[in-house]
Amino acid sequence: MSFHDVRFPASLSFGSIGGPERRTDVVTLTNGFEERNSPWAHSRRRFDAGLGLRSLEDIETLIAFFEARSGQMYGFRWKDWSDYKSSSAGKDITFHDQQIAMCDGVTREFQLKKTYRSGGHRYQRPITKPVVGTVKLGLGQEEMQEGVDFTLDVNSGLVTLGLAPEQGRALVAGYEFDVPVRFDTDRIQTSVASFQAGEAPTVPVVEIRV
């Protein structure tokens, strides 16, 4: 497998910088107007793992993690401290944080999703790496029980219900999640002298599709 189901140390990802990126092809026409098109349905996140390092012990942990992943070879989980749960930043997770589907009376398997809204527009992000033990699911205002009413695949973010819900019922969920990433370099350059002077190494990390 090209993905290791292990999380980059959360204490090191805290303090890193990063966020989503989009790819947009822009063509300027002869009349000055533009045509814009994006080949990506979903955004891709990038981070710098080096900025979370605070001690020489952190560098040792980073190098061990990097070597165990063989550089860019194997993906891993990453906690994005600015966006890691279904609820807003200041609130606890509840089972009705996100509506992930309107049931049709037939479908039993659903993808966890997070919706981002601005004005009248929205974007639904597939959640493929939920955190074990945090996922809550519900039908309308009724909370469901994992292992009884549904099962969860933590490697894909798919939930499977024991019975297909009635048509028109809203399936809702709450959860924490990680971002599937890999190192975006096969080389880490560190200097003890530079680090002690306050210069952290650059360690790029990029989201991958799984």
Write the pLDDT tens digit of every residue in 116-143: 999 999 999 999 999 999 999 999 899 9
Per-residue model confidence as pLDDT tens digits over 41-83: 999 999 998 888 878 888 889 999 999 999 999 999 999 999 9
Statement: residue 199 has pLDDT above 80: no
Spatial separation of the C-alpha atoms in residues 152 and 110, rounded to whole Å: 10
* pLDDT score at 58: 86
* pLDDT score at 189: 84
* pLDDT score at 125: 97
* pLDDT score at 198: 58
| Coil, strand or helix at 171 | strand
State which amino acid sits at residue 11. S
| Coil, strand or helix at 155 | coil
Spatial separation of the C-alpha atoms in residues 194 and 97, rounded to whole Å: 45
Statement: residue 102 has pLDDT above 70: yes
143-175 in b/e form (b: 16+ CB < 10 A) is ebeeeebbebebeebbbebeeebeeeeebbbbb
Mean pLDDT across the chain:
93
Total count of residues recorded for the chain? 210
* pLDDT score at 105: 95
Per-residue model confidence as pLDDT tens digits over 5-28: 999 999 999 989 999 999 999 999
Spatial separation of the C-alpha atoms in residues 34 and 49, rounded to whole Å: 36
* pLDDT score at 1: 67
Q: Are 172 and 113 in contact, with CB atoms under 8 Å apart?
A: no
Spatial separation of the C-alpha atoms in residues 116 and 19, rounded to whole Å: 14
Statement: residue 168 has pLDDT above 80: yes
Half-sphere exposure of 29 (CA within 13 A, CB side): 6
* pLDDT score at 55: 81
End-to-end CA distance of the chain: 11
* pLDDT score at 52: 80
Helices then strands, each counted (H, E), the chain: 3, 17
The DSSP call for residue 162 is S
* pLDDT score at 197: 59
Share of the chain above pLDDT 90, in %: 82
Q: Please give the angle made by the CA atoms of 97, 99 and 105, to the nearest 5 degrees.
A: 140
* pLDDT score at 149: 95
State which amino acid sits at residue 122. R
Q: Are 152 and 136 in contact, with CB atoms under 8 Å apart?
A: no
Q: The tokens 């981070």 sit on which residue?
A: 47
81 burial level (CB within 10 Å; 0-12, 13-18, 19+): middle
Share of the chain above pLDDT 70, in %: 97
Sheet (strand 109-111) strand order: 109-111, 158-161, 150-153
